[in-house]
Amino acid sequence: MSTVNQYDSIPNNVDLSSDKKLQRALEKWQPDFLKWWTDMGPEGFQQDQVYLRTAISADNDGWAHFDYVKMPDYRWGIFLTDPEPDRKIGFGDFAAEPAWQQVPGEHRNVLKRLIVTQGDTEPASVEQQRLLGKTAPSLYDLRNLFQVNVEEGRHLWAMVYLLHSYFGRDGREEAEALLDRRSGNPDRPRILGAFNEPVEDWLSFYMFTYFTDRDGKYQLLSLAESGFDPLARTCRFMLTEEAHHMFVGETGVLRVVQRACELMKEDPNENPRARGGVDLPMVQRYLNQWFSVSLDLFGGEISSNAANYFAAGLKGRAQEQKKYEDHVVLDAVYGVPTLEGDRFVTQDVPMRNAMNTVLRDAYVEDCQRGVDKWNKAIEEAGFSYRLSLPHVAFHRAIGIYADQPVTPDGKLIAREEWDRRRDEWLPTPADYEYVRSLMMPVYEPGRIANWIAPPSKGIKGLPFEFEYVKL
């Protein structure tokens, strides 16, 4: 078991104090991070006590400590899972060779780019969510928002640790650049599309944490297989924290759906909007938006980049070791639905080139689980409406379906018809305006906004009424 230096200025289990040069470099980056956090982190709650979970080790049991903390005093640490003795590269052209403990020279730039891209999403999401505290539907939700935010901050630390440790001067420059780009800024945007989209209401936040954080889960699963061992170990531990983020999204949408059903039961002839709720077709339009922009995060369906990452042993499939037998994948093909004329025809693509699609398909299956739960709640309430994931080609901006006018049920139609019907499928300015009009803060312990049901339980065995944030 690696030792944890919890009282170092940067808590860590990587024996930072034995590498003075690295420690100094990170201690130099730390105030820049804090300045970014103060400028771009949650606005308005920095002096409040928040009941937060802090990672204090990478042990399976007891890795987290729960207590009140002011966010700027959160102890962002560096934790990697323990090394596996004699770990081998698990896939690609170098399969069965010893895993890399240093950056392999020939893959340096590609690896750096993967780490920077991963790292960029973490502060981006904090920036996207920075105003949501002002309209939290309850103290419980406010606390969950901040929990997600501080942990995305820690994930930035995780990537910056790799950049500083293994990439020398350009790694340090990339670490600075991670604090300079800004979500949605036209001159220096965040790298990936979804991380420049506004997240200005809580329904968007729940959709984001359900769909976009789940892309994080799948990207981290594939990097957790990396032959570059420090990256694999970092991502494995990040996945531990990620589960809660997706829980916030899944239960958040569920509670919106439950409340819509309650309001419909009060008066089945009335739209829940008449009673200050969110109607289910609105939930569907938000779902369509966030599912489709999150699919874009998987990159192109057919990608030579993805083939190269796999060949180089840098990025595997989710659960590469557990789920697959052939880890070299030179002969296998993968079926990718491709548009031919106006129909989808399955095209067999060399699997290495289809790795983004392999990963995406696993993601889609995982997404469906939550949708099934939401639908079960609607069914139990006695209503026939059903939510569904749109077709993977719907509303895409990246990959083989980019800019194709495909309907949510997977029909290619004329561009003009698609444009005309767009508002049936995606949130409109009026939708956003309506949802935003519901976003009135509720900060009394135990109370909840009218448009959402309370959670079935609180955090860490505490009741919903607990004062999760002391304002």
> Under the rule (CB under 5 A), what is the footprint of Fe ion?
122, 152, 155, 213, 216, 242, 245
Q: Which is nearer to Fe ion, 79 or 401 (CB)?
A: 79
Which parts of this chain interact with ligand BYC (CB under 6 A)? 114, 117-118, 121-122, 125, 152, 192-193, 212-213, 215-216, 219, 296-300, 303, 305-306, 315, 356, 398
φ, ψ at 245 (rounded to 5°): -60, -45
Q: Which is nearer to Fe ion, 242 or 296 (CB)?
A: 242
Q: Give the HSE-up count for residue 451: Cα atoms under 13 Å, Cβ half-sphere.
A: 27
**Residue 267 Cβ vs ligand BYC, minimum distance, rounded to whole Å:** 38
Spatial distance between the Cα atoms of 143 and 139, rounded to a whole number of angstroms: 6
Provide CB contacts within 8 A for 409, sequence distance 6+. Answer: 390, 391
> 212 contacts which partner out of ligand BYC, Fe ion, none, CB within 5 to 8 A by kind?
ligand BYC
**Residue 156 Cβ vs ligand BYC, minimum distance, rounded to whole Å:** 9
> 300 contacts which partner out of ligand BYC, Fe ion, none, CB within 5 to 8 A by kind?
ligand BYC
What residue is closest to ligand BYC based on CB?
299
Q: Which is nearer to ligand BYC, 158 or 278 (CB)?
A: 158
> 154 contacts which partner out of Fe ion, ligand BYC, none, CB within 5 to 8 A by kind?
none
Q: Which is nearer to ligand BYC, 217 or 259 (CB)?
A: 217
**Residue 219 Cβ vs ligand BYC, minimum distance, rounded to whole Å:** 4
If phi > 0 it is left, if psi is from -120 to 50 it is alpha, else beta; for residue 440 that is beta
Q: Which is nearer to Fe ion, 181 or 245 (CB)?
A: 245
Q: Measured in Å, how far apart are the chain's first and last C-alpha atoms?
A: 39
Please give the helix or strand (H or E) that residue 171 lies within, else none.
helix 168-180
Provide CB contacts within 8 A for 365, sequence distance 6+. Answer: none
Q: Which is nearer to Fe ion, 244 or 255 (CB)?
A: 244
**Residue 80 Cβ vs Fe ion, minimum distance, rounded to whole Å:** 15
Spatial distance between the Cα atoms of 291 and 413, rounded to a whole number of angstroms: 20
> 299 contacts which partner out of Fe ion, ligand BYC, none, CB within 5 to 8 A by kind?
ligand BYC
**Residue 133 Cβ vs ligand BYC, minimum distance, rounded to whole Å:** 17
Q: Do residues 361 and 295 lie in contact, with contact meaning Cβ atoms separated by under 8 Å?
A: no
